[in-house]
Structure formats: structure tokens, C-alpha cells
Amino acid sequence: MDSTRMHERRLEHFSSGPPHNTAKKGDFAPLVLMPGDPLRAKYIAETRLKNVRQVTGVRNMLGFTGTWEGVDVSVMSSGMGAPSMGIYSYELFAFYGVEKIVRIGTCGGMTPDIDVGDLVIAMTASTDSNYAHQYGLNGSFSPCADYGLLEKAVEAARSRGTKYWVGGIFSSDVFSLYSALDDAEGWKKWAAMGCAATDMECFALYCNAAYLKKKALTLLTCSDSNTSRREMTPLERQTSLNAMFDVALDLA
């Protein structure tokens, strides 16, 4: 069965709506900003958008829609890891007519070029995940960001005087500090290949966008550095990401 027919069958199966989102058709704007943390989604909606309304909250994955400078914008949490991002971004793209998703999250820096607080704009994501296995490809798939979104993000960061870095990152299935192998040097192998930062969701988002012919971009704020050993506090992770939010909203 080809991918188009498979997608059509999924839509037919869930004709009454997807199982992880109670929003109605039309509740989401064409652009969705997607942090991992539900409270971060709530913070952005309440502090940046006007005329805000909550449109979904299944399993506390909060979603909101409002306006930014007169343009409709939505923000919804993705949860942590490729499976969670995969579910929520797929449903937004496939069931709600969302055209663009911009992941806004935190990352770990893996080279001295990226310090705590810097903005990382991900062109592509390498991974140790098996997420792309579902496509039955005879090889390794390397998903990438939408160039139009990436170009606008670079322009926005430059005009705002925000320190940024653009390139490839590494999306891991395992939070590095909890690795069962405790391979303290493993990240250096990815860094040596040019992956300057690590997250857990970018690869799945870019795969979904490619499969469904949509647009995606990942913006990350470095919250901790493997090289300097500096890190943000939990409170800073909630409130000190404003430069990234500004750049993301410039894409509306």
C-alpha cells in the first residue's frame, strides 16, 4: 500500500477526530508553535497572544489559539521524545489543516560554539531513534527543516541581535543524563560529526513534515552545555526563553 492510501485510511478510521486532541476543525491556526512543556505553552499563550482560548487539553497536552499582531497563531505542547512529538504533530498536520509547526524547546550544547542561552536553528537532525523505520526505506533518512522558515528565522534573529547558530543537531531517544550505558563520552562522537546540540523531538517532527508534505522548523535555546558544564535553573527554563519566542512569533 502506498503512503497516500495509507494516510487516507488513517483519516477514514478516525473520521470523528484523532484520539489525542479534542479541538474542532478550524480551532488551530495554520502556524503552531510547539514547546515540549504544557506550562510553557500556557505561558506563551497568556503572555504573548491576544484573544486566547484553550482548544484542547487531552492528557494535559495544552493547546491554545489566539492572535499575534492580528495574525492567528496557535501554541500546543508536544511532550517529551520522538513518540510524543510524533503523535501530536502528526495529528495537527493530518487532521487540523496545520501547515507549519515550529518546535520551540531547549537543548544541550555539545560544542564550545554554543553557550547557555544561545539560539540554535536546526537545519537537520541526526538520531539514534528508529522512528523512520515506519516508512520502510532501504537506507537512512535525513529529514530537514523548511528552508523558507529557516531563512526567516535567521533574518529575525539577526535583526533582533540574538546570538544564533545554524546547523545539524542530534535527536536522541535517551535523555543523556539518564543513559543506562552511562557513556559520558558518547556525545563527543556526534559532536565530532558536526552535531552541535542535542534534543529529543526534532527528528520526528521533520519526518512527519516530510511525509505529509508540510513545513517544520526547530528553534532551541541552549539550556545546558556539555563543554562548559553550565546549565539553566528549572525556573529559567520556564521564563528565560523570550528571545526564542520572539523569533518564532516573527514567523507568523
Active site (catalytic) residues: 224
Q: Rounded to whole angstroms, how far apart are CA atoms 119 and 222?
A: 7
Instruction: Give, for 92, the enclosing helix (H) or strand (E).
Output: helix 82-95
* DSSP-assigned beta bridge partners for residue 222: 107
Instruction: Give, for 47, the enclosing helix (H) or strand (E).
Output: helix 38-48
At residue 197, φ and ψ (nearest 5 deg) are -150, 160
* DSSP-assigned beta bridge partners for residue 152: none
Q: Rounded to whole angstroms, how far apart are CA atoms 33 and 250?
A: 11
Q: Rounded to whole angstroms, how far apart are CA atoms 44 and 245?
A: 8
Q: Which three cell numbers stand for residue 252?
A: 507568523
Please report which residue ranges of 102-177 form alpha helices under DSSP H.
Answer: 147-160
Cα angle vertex 82, ends 81, 86, to 5°? Answer: 125
